[in-house]
Structure 1
Amino acid sequence: MTYGGRPKAISLWSNLGQPVRFLGAEVPLLQIIVIVTIVLVLIALSLGLKFTRIGLEMRAAAENFGMARLLGVRANRVIMMAFGVSGALAAMLALIFVAQTGVADVRMGGSIVLIAFVATVLGGMGSLTGAVLAGLLLGAISTVLQAYLPIDLRPFRDAFVYALVIVVLLVRPQGLFTLSSVSNRI
């Protein structure tokens, strides 16, 4: 509300664009920081969901919310923690995205949310590993299409990616990497 709806140029840590020699290649420092940060956050999220009480409660609520409440899971706490974790992840992603692009915009997360949703559905609902693997697969397919599609068809790269996702979901509607409990319900 203070700045309006126009995109704003932001310079965060301009030194992060400096190339660093890594395994014989020059890679921008920002890309290395992004990869390391994402790997650490995924490990922390995975371990937190597996080995903490709130992680167990979140997984139980995701499996069967009513039964979890009957077994003593405090629903308000689980919902509050889920929103807190998702907000922290969104803030981290926004910071990384702004550092990479140099622009803050009201609509900057729309395309990322769409891709994340598609990766979650493609990977299998309820599977963190599946969502991550599906996201990496979508990124790889998108990059290959951008490199090998004829120049006239490159603007339609996302349409090809989503068409492929639709075909995969027609063949395997529960997703590629689904939990056995989820696939039994479908």
Structure 2
Amino acid sequence: MLAMNMPYIDATRIAVAVGKSFAIIMGILGLFTFNLFLLLIAFFLYYGAAGEEEAAVISVTLEGILVKDVMSGLPDVIYVTPDLTLDQLVDVMFKTKHMGYPVQQNHTSPVLGVITFSDLRRIPESERDTTRVKDVMTGDVIAIEPDADAFDAFKLIMSNNVGRLIVIDQGKIVGILSRTDLIRSIQFRGAYG
């Protein structure tokens, strides 16, 4: 109802302030009446309101931005081959300073998976010279199209708890969108938007 008379973000901030105030009152009441259940409800209400405000700010900040506007595109996408040893992968990571890579036979072949620093860390150092990328990569590639909304990409990254999405257009990799790319965009738009 508020959003009909004012900008969405302002209406959300007012609703959040009211919700937080209500939660504080409930919390104080819960303290004075020794009602643990009321305290618990107040706690969840307060932090739920804060989360809603954060989501609204991110949504408005990323409004109108497409994945292709913030992704790292070709030729900057670095891929690794499935037969690379993990020792060789460490060298690639050190040189390129990235924490995850698409796995492909060559730059035009389909994406076979994704390998990340977290995957690498699971393998003991003594086994990295014989273990191949294909043995530890994640085969389930979480992908998005370049014309998708950046906020949808943000939700996909957060809900799957991944650091990056592979950007695919017509079956071919055209870029990578990392959590860092989105955070930088949010910070930039928040400061200058």
> TM-score, with normalisation over the residues of structure 2?
0.28
> Going by fraction, where is helix more abundant, 1 or 2?
1
Structure of higher CA gyration radius: 2
Kindly indicate which of the two structures has a greater share of residues assigned to strand: 2
TM-score, reference length from structure 1 = 0.29
